[in-house]
C-alpha cells in the first residue's frame, strides 16, 4: 500500500505493514549525495524528534556505491579503502541525522545490490522504518521512486518513507 504521510507533506510516500512496524530504530539510507542528505533533513521535519536512527552506507568493493567525502578517489579493488571511506561517509550522515534531531549512529554493510544491505540492517535491528531519498524516474513504479528505493519498498516488510527532492 502506498500513501502520503499523515501531515500531507509533498514528495513523500510511505508503505506500511509487516511484523516490524513501529519497533526499533529508523534506518536512513545514506550514500553521501545531496539527495540522501535532503532525505535525512526532511525526515527530521516529518518524524518525531529524538527517535533512534541508524545511518547506513552500503558499500561494494567492485562498485563503490556512494559519493566519498571531499572528492576522494578510491580504487575499488582496495576493499579496505572502500570500507574506510564508507565508515567516514556513514559518520558524516549520522552527524546530519543528529543535527536533524535524531539519536543517530553510523553503520556500514557490504552488500549488492544496495537494497539488500538496507533490508539486512533493518531486519537485524528490528527497525520499523527505512527512510530513503529518491530521484523520480519514468514508468509506473518509477514515478514513485528510483531503482534502489523501488527495490527497498518491494522487499522490506515494514514501512519505507521515500523522500523526493522538489525540482
Q: How far apart are CA 102 and CA 55, in angstroms?
A: 10
Which segments within the chain are labelled E, that is strand? Answer: 12-15, 26-29, 52-59, 103-110, 129-134, 159-164
| Threshold 0.85, pTM exceeds | no
pLDDT of residue 140: 52
Give residue limits of the domains in the chain.
12-164
Q: What is the pLDDT of residues 57-85, one digit of tens each?
A: 999 876 556 777 776 766 656 778 888 99
Please report where in the chains the cell 512496524 appears, as a residue: 21
Distances (CA, A) of 154 to 2, 68, 72: 11, 28, 33
In sequence order, the β-bridge partners of residue 159 are: 129
pLDDT of residue 11: 45
Q: How far apart are CA 46 and CA 141, in angstroms?
A: 23
Give the helix/strand (H/E) hosting 65.
Answer: none
pLDDT > 80? residue 6: no
Q: What is the pLDDT of residues 89-148, one digit of tens each?
A: 999 999 999 999 999 999 999 999 999 999 999 999 999 899 999 876 555 544 444 688
- For residues 31 and 134, the answer to whether their CB atoms sit within 8 Å is no
Options 3.50.50.60, 1.10.3720.10, 1.25.40.10, 3.40.50.620; CATH of 12-164: 3.40.50.620
- For residues 131 and 39, the answer to whether their CB atoms sit within 8 Å is yes
Q: How far apart are CA 92 and CA 40, in angstroms?
A: 12
- For residues 118 and 56, the answer to whether their CB atoms sit within 8 Å is yes
Quote the cell numbers at residue 127.
527497525
Amino acid at each position: 500500500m502506498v500513501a502520503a504521510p499523515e501531515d500531507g507533506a509533498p514528495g513523500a510516500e510511505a508503505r506500511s505493514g509487516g511484523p516490524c512496524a513501529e519497533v526499533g530504530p529508523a534506518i536512513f539510507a545514506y550514500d553521501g549525495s545531496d539527495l540522501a542528505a535532503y532525505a535525512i533533513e526532511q525526515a527530521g521535519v516529518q518524524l518525531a524528534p529524538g527517535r533512534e536512527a541508524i545511518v547506513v552506507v552500503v558499500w561494494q568493493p567492485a562498485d563503490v556505491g556512494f559519493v566519498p567525502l571531499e572528492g576522494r578517489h578510491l580504487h575499488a579493488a582496495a576493499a579496505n579503502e572502500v570500507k574506510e571511506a564508507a565508515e567516514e561517509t556513514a559518520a558524516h550522515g549520522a552527524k546530519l541525522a543528529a543535527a536533524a534531531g535524531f539519536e543517530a549512529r553510523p553503520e556500514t554493510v557490504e552488500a549488492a545490490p544496495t537494497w539488500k544491505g538496507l533490508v539486512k540492517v533493518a531486519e537485524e535491528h528490528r527497525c520499523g522504518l527505512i527512510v530513503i531519498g529518491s530521484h523520480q524516474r519514468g514508468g509506473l513504479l518509477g514515478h514513485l521512486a528510483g531503482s534502489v528505493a523501488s527495490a527497498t519498498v518491494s522487499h522490506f516488510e515494514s514501512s519505507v518513507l521515500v523522500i523526493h527532492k522538489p525540482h
